[in-house]
């Protein structure tokens, strides 16, 4: 079984166009005439990204939101999307279409085209390509963090983890924690406001610690995160208490789709965000809890296989 990283390494050998950004970013950035176009493609597979019994309308919502979240991290405004859809059960497909319609209307994004295929297998795979137009040049990347910068994250972390666990345990799916997992929010407006002041930015899709480590690697600097500052929601705290362990879990689980960014200490933030650490020399990630050093957990986040 090939792993994602070994396959991407194979591709990296010939994805040498500068627009590919060495396949180190979530998106490609293409200069077309006088505009910078952002393009991203994310897939969702049954049994990996969604349960076989998930609400198809939620699957549609999440497929759109996760792709738009990649645009948000570039400060881009969506232009439209193309859908790659595997046909199946009629009721499922109708519910998916209805959910997609609702999500597109929510984000005011156009469906431009795509493809549908029959499914001869026992599981579905869905894909979405999202196109956006950069609102600020240069387009933020993962690789611009500078020593001395502050590390920030928008919103709170862990709600999607709590929602996932509640759904897994058979609880009602309509609560706000379940919603955080099923219907994540792409922070498009925040991304556009932040793009002019950040030195690096990405969305938190696979876990704060893992994504921060990727940002550190891409920027060739070190990142120190103070777990005591990781922002938690009152709901998450009431679900799981406020402890170092629960903060560590919130920081090493994905699906939050908040924006992780670095900015100079002089920058005046244009959206609410929490300072959770700083950019230091060296490489990779270091953790602390207030003044106490904390060992890295064995798993920093969701590693795709």
| Of residues 78-117, those binding its own copies (CB under 8 A) | 79-80, 82-90, 93-94, 97, 100-101, 104-105, 110-117
Select from 54, 125, 280, 296 the one that contacts its own copies (CB under 8 A). Answer: 125
49 is in an annotated binding site: yes
By CB under 8 A, the count of residues binding its own copies is 78
Region binding its own copies by CB under 8 A among candidate stretches 56-64, 129-137, 179-187, 225-233: 129-137
Q: Is 168 in the site for its own copies (CB under 8 A)?
A: no
Q: Is 54 in the site for its own copies (CB under 8 A)?
A: no
| Pick 31 or 245: Cβ nearer its own copies | 31
Closest CB 259 distance from its own copies, rounded Å: 19
Select from 45, 137, 147, 189 the one that contacts its own copies (CB under 8 A). Answer: 45
| Pick 32 or 169: Cβ nearer its own copies | 32
| Pick 135 or 278: Cβ nearer its own copies | 135
Q: Is 173 in the site for its own copies (CB under 8 A)?
A: no
Q: Is 299 in the site for its own copies (CB under 8 A)?
A: no
Q: Is 53 in the site for its own copies (CB under 8 A)?
A: no
Q: What is the DSSP string of the chain?
A: ---HHHHHHHHHTT--SGGGGGG-SSSEEEEETTEEEEEEEEEEEBTTTB-TTS-HHHHHHHHHHHHHHHHHTTTEEEEEEEEEEE---HHHHHHHHHHHHHHHHHHT--EEEEEEE---SSS-EEEEEEEEEESSSSPP-SS---TTPEEEE-S-SSHHHHHHHHHHTT--TTSHHHHHHHS----HHHHHHHTTT-SEEEE-SS-HHHHHHHHHHHHTSEEEEEGGG----HHHHHHH-SSHHHHHHHHT-----PEEEEE-TTPPPSS--EEEEEEESSSEEEEEETTEEEPPPS--S----
| Pick 116 or 243: Cβ nearer its own copies | 116
Give the residue among 145, 268, 304 at the shortest CA–CA distance from 216. Answer: 145
Q: Is 147 in the site for its own copies (CB under 8 A)?
A: no
Give the residue among 107, 142, 156, 127 at the shortest CA–CA distance from 256. Answer: 156
205 is in an annotated binding site: yes
Q: Is 222 in the site for its own copies (CB under 8 A)?
A: no
144 is in an annotated binding site: no
CB burial of 149-163 (b: ≥16 within 10 Å; e: otherwise) equals bbbbbbbbbbbbbbb
Could you identify the residue written with the tokens 């897939």?
Answer: 43
Closest CB 15 distance from its own copies, rounded Å: 4
Query: Angle 244-251/208-219 helices, nearest 10 degrees?
Result: 60
Query: Which 13-32 residues touch its own copies, going by CB under 8 A?
Result: 13-17, 19-21, 23, 25-28, 30, 32
Paired strand residues for 277? 151, 225
Q: Is 172 in the site for its own copies (CB under 8 A)?
A: no
Q: Is 47 in the site for its own copies (CB under 8 A)?
A: yes
Select from 60, 63, 131, 260 the one that contacts its own copies (CB under 8 A). Answer: 131
70 is in an annotated binding site: yes
Q: Which residues are annotated as a binding site for Mg(2+)?
A: 26, 40, 42, 70, 115, 203, 206
- Known binding-site positions: 26, 40, 42, 49, 70, 114-115, 142, 203, 205-206, 255, 302
């Amino acid at each position: 079984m090939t792993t994602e990283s070994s396959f991407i390494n194979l591709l990296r050998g010939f994805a040498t166009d500068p627009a590919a950004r060495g396949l180190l970013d979530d998106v490609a950035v293409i200069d077309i005439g006088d505009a910078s176009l952002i393009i991203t493609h994310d897939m969702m597979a049954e049994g990996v990204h969604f349960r076989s019994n998930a609400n198809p309308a939620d699957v549609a919502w999440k497929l759109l939101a996760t792709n738009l979240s990649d645009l948000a991290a570039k400060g881009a405004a969506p232009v439209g999307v193309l859908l790659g859809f595997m046909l199946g059960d009629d009721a499922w497909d109708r519910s998916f279409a209805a959910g997609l319609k609702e999500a597109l209307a929510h984000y005011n994004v156009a469906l431009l085209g795509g493809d549908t295929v029959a499914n001869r297998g026992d599981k579905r795979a869905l894909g979405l390509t999202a196109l956006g137009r950069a609102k600020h040049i240069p387009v933020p990347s993962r690789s611009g963090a500078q020593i001395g910068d502050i590390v920030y994250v928008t919103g709170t972390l862990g709600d999607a983890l709590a929602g996932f666990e509640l759904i897994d345990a058979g609880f009602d799916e309509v609560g706000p924690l379940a919603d955080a997992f099923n219907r994540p929010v792409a922070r498009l407006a925040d991304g556009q406001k932040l793009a002019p002041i950040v030195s690096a930015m990405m969305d938190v899709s696979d876990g704060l610690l893992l994504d921060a480590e990727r940002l550190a690697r891409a920027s060739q600097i070190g990142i120190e995160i103070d777990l005591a500052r990781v922002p938690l929601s009152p709901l998450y705290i009431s679900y799981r208490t406020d402890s170092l362990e629960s903060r560590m879990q919130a920081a090493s689980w994905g699906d939050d789709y908040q924006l992780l960014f670095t900015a100079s200490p002089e920058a005046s933030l244009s959206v609410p965000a929490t300072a959770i650490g700083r950019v230091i020399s060296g490489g990779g990630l270091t953790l602390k809890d207030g003044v106490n050093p904390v060992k890295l957990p064995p798993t920093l986040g969701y590693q795709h296989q």
